[in-house]
């Protein structure tokens, strides 16, 4: 398909220009072929008039658990460890594959409708998430969360290997698979070493929770005499490409380790604030040269998957924490949700910015809204004023997935119905 988006204001996130006014974007098949003044010889199968809209790269949710939409608003106002051990894990023990399928589809609808085009997921029954990815047209990384459980360690590793064989590279390369030890406090050093062996065997990366809470760090120091980050570094985990979710309670040595080993940290401000985990020192990390991406975490701890809300929080809360009004300016917060996310997911050659030759993962924002007027600064509007519901059109891999707020690939009403049914049945079990 040949697609032309004309008369559009563009925030390319290309490291050169913050804004290109009244331009045109031409897409051939799945890639961006041309950006600039309209040429007479351009022939398009589909033309979208971008007047009154802003184009930007699709948002990337670099750490989430999309099947957890089944538990949205189920277990709130609890500390993380109580939330996990008393509410979430006992309920998840009763999950069925069908539950995760419908919960994941619901999350994909929510993400598409709020401008997210790609994500990195950690959960169970990941084949079901793969099926949803193929149907939705989204781009995603699948990781089967690995929690050490006596007698089931090898079975879980086998599931990850099968997940890789079944899904890595599927959907015109829209789907990737990584290996996901849940955290150092749920995986012993010996199990982490087995997990690392598997990642080497599959030639893929690692997705892990690190230094999320103060308790986690204190327990690690008691058990190993070092922080969780230093602990897994000494085990050799960071010799593999690593996505480190949270990194809230980190010291200078931890930050240096992340930088030197090119580990991407994923900030999850909404979830961390709600669970009172703290707030990651992202300004310090960025200044030290750490790649910091952005994620929502699961919608049972957030309680949504709206990346525009995370962009807002990443900037504004950091200003308050640092008592510095210029900390994490608007463009940096947007980069965290786009190009930095692409780097974290090892996808920045193809996505994360709107440039000629890159994949056409593009979202259009409807700026003709009262809460966006007057439009003094479009970049500021995107970071501080735009809502997920302002996303008008979503293009992924050159295909229109949503247009004028109308979903093209998923039956929203049926997904909502089936998820409600599955969630109630899960809780009753």
CA-nearest of 337, 327, 323, 396 to 361 is 396
d(CA 409, CA 413) in angstroms, rounded, equals 12
Tokens read off for 393: 């059109």
Give pLDDT, residue 41. 84
Low-confidence residues in the chain, pLDDT < 50: none
Give pLDDT, residue 42. 87
Tokens read off for 319: 């200003």
Give pLDDT, residue 40. 82
Residue in this structure with the two tokens 């070493």, named with its chain if needed: 193
Instruction: Give DSSP secondary structure letters for 213-241.
Output: SHHHHHHHHHHHSS-HHHHHHHHTGGGS-
Q: Cβ of 178: how many Cβ atoms within 10 Å? A: 28
Residue 168 Cα to chain centre, angstroms = 18
3-state secondary structure of 80: helix
CA triple 34-38-40, angle to 5 deg = 105
Give pLDDT, residue 79. 83
Largest CA-CA distance found in the chain, in angstroms, rounded: 69
CA triple 192-197-202, angle to 5 deg = 125
Peptide bond preceding 256 in cis form (omega within 30 of 0): no
d(CA 189, CA 20) in angstroms, rounded, equals 50
Q: Cβ of 320: how many Cβ atoms within 10 Å? A: 11
Give pLDDT, residue 81. 85
Give pLDDT, residue 142. 98
Domain with CATH 2.30.40.10 in the chain: 2-57+351-407
Domain with CATH 3.20.20.140 in the chain: 59-344
CATH domain 59-344 topology: TIM Barrel (3.20.20)
What is each CA distance from 402 to 109, 392, 396, 414, 423, in whole angstroms? 10, 7, 9, 17, 26
pTM listed for this prediction: 0.97
Give pLDDT, residue 324. 96
Percentage, residues of the chain above pLDDT 70 = 100
User: E strands within 112-174?
Assistant: 116-123, 139-146
Per DSSP bridges, beta strands 180-181 and 139-146 are parallel
The CATH H-level (homologous superfamily) assignment of domain 2-57+351-407 is Urease, subunit C, domain 1 (2.30.40.10)
């Amino acid at each position: 398909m040949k697609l032309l988006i004309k008369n559009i204001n563009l925030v390319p996130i290309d490291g050169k220009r913050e804004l290109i006014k009244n331009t045109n974007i031409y897409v051939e098949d799945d890639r961006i072929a041309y950006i600039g003044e309209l040429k007479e010889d351009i022939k398009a199968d589909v033309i979208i008039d971008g007047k009154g809209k802003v184009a930007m790269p699709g948002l990337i949710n670099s750490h989430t658990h999309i099947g957890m939409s089944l538990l949205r608003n189920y277990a709130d106002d609890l500390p993380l460890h109580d939330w996990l051990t008393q509410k979430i894990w006992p309920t998840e023990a009763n999950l069925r594959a069908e539950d995760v399928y419908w919960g994941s589809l619901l999350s994909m609808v929510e993400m598409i409708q709020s401008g997210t085009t790609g994500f990195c997921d950690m959960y169970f029954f990941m084949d079901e998430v793969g099926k949803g990815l193929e149907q939705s047209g989204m781009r995603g990384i699948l990781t089967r969360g690995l929690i050490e459980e006596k007698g089931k360690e090898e079975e879980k590793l086998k599931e990850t290997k099968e997940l890789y064989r079944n899904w890595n590279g599927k959907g015109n390369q829209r789907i990737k698979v990584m290996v996901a030890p849940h955290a150092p406090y749920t995986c012993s050093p010996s199990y982490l070493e087995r997990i690392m062996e598997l990642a080497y065997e599959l030639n893929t990366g690692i997705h892990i929770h690190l230094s999320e809470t103060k308790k986690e760090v204190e327990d690690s120091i008691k058990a190993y005499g070092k922080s969780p980050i230093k602990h897994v570094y000494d085990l050799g985990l960071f010799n593999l490409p690593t996505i480190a979710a949270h990194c809230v309670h980190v010291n200078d040595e931890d930050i240096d380790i992340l930088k030197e080993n090119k580990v991407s940290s994923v900030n999850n401000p909404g979830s961390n604030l709600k669970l009172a985990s703290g707030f990651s020192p992202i300004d310090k990390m960025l200044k030290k040269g750490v790649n910091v991406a952005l994620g929502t975490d699961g919608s049972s701890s957030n309680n949504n998957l709206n990346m525009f809300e995370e962009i807002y929080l990443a900037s504004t809360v950091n200003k308050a924490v640092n008592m510095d009004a210029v900390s994490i300016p608007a463009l940096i917060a947007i980069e965290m949700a786009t190009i930095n996310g692409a780097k974290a997911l090892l996808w920045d050659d193809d996505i994360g910015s709107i440039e000629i030759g890159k994949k056409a993962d593009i979202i259009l924002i409807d700026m003709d809204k009262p809460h966006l007027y007057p439009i003094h600064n479009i970049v500021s509007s995107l970071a501080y004023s735009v809502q997920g519901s302002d996303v008008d059109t979503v293009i992924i891999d050159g295909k229109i997935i949503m247009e004028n707020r109308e979903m093209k690939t998923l039956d929203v009403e049926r997904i909502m119905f089936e998820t409600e049914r599955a969630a109630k049945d899960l809780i009753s079990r």
